[in-house]
Amino acid sequence: MLFALLFGFGFAHGQQLLRQEYSFIGRGLGVTKLRQSHDTLYFFQAYPAGLTGPGIAKAKALRVGDHFKIIAASRTGKFDVLKVEKLDTLKLTSTPYPETRYLLVILNRQSDNAIGFLPQRLGSTKAQIDTAKVSDEVMRKSFYFTYFSDAYMKKLAELKRVSTKEQAQQILDEMKSAEWKVVIEKYQKTNPPDFYGSGFISEFINLTCIKSGYSPIGAQMAINALLK
């Protein structure tokens, strides 16, 4: 299996690994969208499908994020391992395109509604990423940030919102259950790049809300306001 991952990399121009957009629900009302166009992965900030409110209809996209060129890809079962090059320049520096602009991206096709996303080996050189090794065991046991399909985002937007202090406390109590300890341990062992753990907090609240029958869209912001 590892042999296939090491030597099975290749990427045909136009190969569509992502056939639709996926969204990660963060702290506020906006989401981080993941999109593939030809040989490039794009991240950008937008409002989720199905969300309505003052000013939202006029704001199709809030901010364009990072983009990466896919230089190689390998599929093993439900996992795709991508070797990518960061195309965004570093500002206010004499080396806008550093040699360490390469990384791995692992995609976990969790279901028709969701895809897991995990960046690895950030800050690698081209030579390092060319010889990077990923085992099927690592892929199976790793923690992933969950991005939801647009169709599923519309369904999530229709769920009841966290709107009372009791509901907010219910979510927090559920997060303390033994079931979620496995998720926490997996996150700690994977140790993904995650600024101040903000991605994990969002992931944890998103999945807990869905399990409890609440919409995760805007939930983190609501819980913070209700329990402050």
Total length of the chain: 228
Q: Identify the helix (H) or strand (E) that includes residue 168.
A: helix 165-175
Over residues 82-101, the mean pLDDT reads 86
Over residues 75-81, the mean pLDDT reads 95
Note if the pTM is more than 0.85.
yes
Token couple for 136: 């099927």
Check residue 88 and give its pLDDT: 84
pLDDT higher than 90, residue 96: no
Over residues 59-74, the mean pLDDT reads 76
Over residues 132-144, the mean pLDDT reads 94
What distance in Å separates the CA atoms of residue 64 and residue 17, rounded to the nearest whole number?
A: 21
pLDDT higher than 80, residue 176: yes
pLDDT higher than 90, residue 8: no
pLDDT tier, 147 (very low <50, low <70, confident <90, very high otherwise): very high
Over residues 177-200, the mean pLDDT reads 93
What distance in Å separates the CA atoms of residue 176 and residue 198, rounded to the nearest whole number?
A: 18
- Comparing 13-17, 120-124, 145-149, 172-176, the range with the smallest average pLDDT is 13-17
What distance in Å separates the CA atoms of residue 32 and residue 40, rounded to the nearest whole number?
A: 16
The mean pLDDT of the chain is: 87
